Structure 1
């Protein structure tokens, strides 16, 4: 007579599959929870955090000056949409910050990805560019902000360049690391079939490097948004970072939280877009 586990039928579907060591949906590896399960957990986590936030403010455990209630933050958001901030509409603040961040991001990708691929292929390029990139990479943007102001003034150039430098290093190093993902057997096979160096780069090395390049782009844009507030500290009159800094000086905590949520929402929306592109460009990632 076979022995059965009475608790098996009570286990969640993904946990039962984990115990069997099987996967039933694309993207599930040996029964690890799929996207549907993680989305429910994410929604539940966000709802729980908002509830705790509301409870803390409703019970009066923290002064509204330090942590305003969710309702107060929503009211402030509506007020900013209707009346703007310091004579500029909220939409203009958002668009100007996005222009700075995404302009610097595109410039960093246009320069960093080819340079990173070149560093991965050529020891000469790696020897030339790797030391300066590794030297400045761990330096916080605020440390070289004064130099940007001295060299390029207080206009848009210094702001965009500061964000560019924060994005450039992870993108270039990610592309360099991605080149090493190409199998040496594939490269030799391509050469044996008469492929030129350019065709090997295009059809073998670049596809192998794309997963790490896209991951580096996602990391880089995160650094860009992190640097935005520092970039808009200098002679800025518009932008989300400027709005957050100005509101903090006058203890307008609700406005500060609105700015933080806007930055997080835009960054998260872009990350979702990058994940969508990643699924289309490198559908094999995580399945091999």
Structure 2
């Protein structure tokens, strides 16, 4: 028997012991689907399931078409409204007029809400004077004061804009005031020690610190203004997407009503997505500090 034992390749030499089992490593190195792709897929699945359910219920004719039209009927109405128009205006024209009213009304409401929120948050006397009034207006539904605005301003554009201003101002004011009151005194003292004047503190210290909460209030305010546009356009709202829905409701044109609701919802999602982009640009530190 030879004294030298024949060396056999082992795991360290790349022998059979190092052979990887495909079944054991297949799950370990399986590529994962990116999160944005999964999110988009789930959203598409949700929308597709809803459309399928809508089509199935309409096809079963549980309710007559005047109650629940089919998706195809709503699509055909969308094409007809875009090309031929409704009440003398096309669908893009109705949408643009409503968007302009929302942008103007919520813009003025946002500006007033930020200024008022700064005053309420910084001055206790202003907080005691105007705080209850802001809370009172915030609890009022838009239809509660629409009639009063019509009496004051007539039936043209003024009552619609004022309704959206009043609807969007309180959420921004409340969010700004709460954020201002939560500013740490150390920030203010540090700014004063660096030579900042009193009138510079709200602009360069308080407002940047409160900006994430202010942007949240603006998103809420724009959403409230958008939900109020139908109420605002119940009075002489043509052209306007809310006025189109109101006019179609009078003549039981359910497909046009559903079309208007879909357009309002999709455009509202687009506006909220744009506001989220603005939030990430203006306040990139949200959630990091």
**Cα distance in 1 for residues equivalent to 2:236 and 2:272:** 29
Alpha-carbon distance change, 51 to 287 in structure 1, aligned in 2, over 3 angstroms: farther
Q: Name 1:41's counterpart in structure 2.
A: 42
Instruction: Provide the aligned length of Structure 1 versus Structure 2.
Output: 262
Q: Can you list the C-alpha shifts for 1:31-60, whole angstroms capped at 9, x where unaligned?
A: xx9555443332222221111111211222
Q: Name 2:143's counterpart in structure 1.
A: 142
**Cα distance in 1 for residues equivalent to 2:204 and 2:102:** 31
**Cα distance in 2 for residues equivalent to 1:278 and 1:162:** 26
Q: Name 1:86's counterpart in structure 2.
A: 87
Q: Name 1:227's counterpart in structure 2.
A: 228
Q: Name 2:116's counterpart in structure 1.
A: 115
Q: Can you list the C-alpha shifts for 1:168-207, whole angstroms capped at 9, x where unaligned?
A: 1111111112213322222222222222123322232111
**Cα distance in 2 for residues equivalent to 1:285 and 1:45:** 29
TM-score w.r.t. length of structure 1: 0.85
Q: Which runs of 5+ in 1 are unaligned?
A: 1-5, 15-32
Runs of 4 or more consecutive aligned structure 1 residues displaced over 6 Å after TM superposition? none
Q: Name 2:10's counterpart in structure 1.
A: none
Larger radius of gyration: 2
Q: 1:92–1:239: 8 Å Cα contact kept in structure 2?
A: yes
Q: Name 2:278's counterpart in structure 1.
A: 277
Q: Name 2:99's counterpart in structure 1.
A: 98
Q: 2:236–2:243: 8 Å Cα contact kept in structure 1?
A: no
Q: Can you list the C-alpha shifts for 1:147-176, whole angstroms capped at 9, x where unaligned?
A: 111111112111111111111111111111
Deviation at 1:210, TM superposition (A): 0.6
**Cα distance in 2 for residues equivalent to 1:222 and 1:36:** 27
**Cα distance in 2 for residues equivalent to 1:60 and 1:40:** 30
**Cα distance in 2 for residues equivalent to 1:237 and 1:135:** 31
What is the 5 A alignment of 1:42-81?
A: 42-81=43-82
**Cα distance in 1 for residues equivalent to 2:149 and 2:250:** 24
Taking only aligned residues, the RMSD between alpha carbons, in angstroms, comes to 2.1
Deviation at 1:13, TM superposition (A): 9.6
Q: Is the partner of 1:150 in helix, strand or coil?
A: helix
**Cα distance in 2 for residues equivalent to 1:230 and 1:38:** 34
What is the 5 A alignment of 1:235-246?
A: 235-246=236-247
**Cα distance in 1 for residues equivalent to 2:288 and 2:39:** 18
